[in-house]
Structure 1
């Protein structure tokens, strides 16, 4: 989390997530209920689109 008080130039919180390391093959969206969706459309182990959901 970046701090608005210092123009978003420093982190005030850094923590791990349930999602493994990602790269530029992922796209992210946040739902109205604040769930995070990570969608990977290419270079997947399953050779299909993968959707990872981090529930709020």
Structure 2
């Protein structure tokens, strides 16, 4: 995810919501923060999600 400070950040999807019959939204929470800029998380349309390889892959 892009953080509010404009850099990539690690976030975890907590829930999915179906907003219309053909649209799903993911609610995510950050796994890291930047000092002085708390980030509570946010929502993103599921079609915009991208899988990022983990170090084990």
Q: TM-score range by the shorter chain?
A: 0.3 to 0.5
TM-score normalized by the length of structure 1: 0.37
TM-score normalized by the length of structure 2: 0.36
Higher Cα radius of gyration = 1
Tell me which of the two structures has the higher relative contact order, counting C-alpha pairs closer than 8 angstroms and 6 or more residues apart.
2
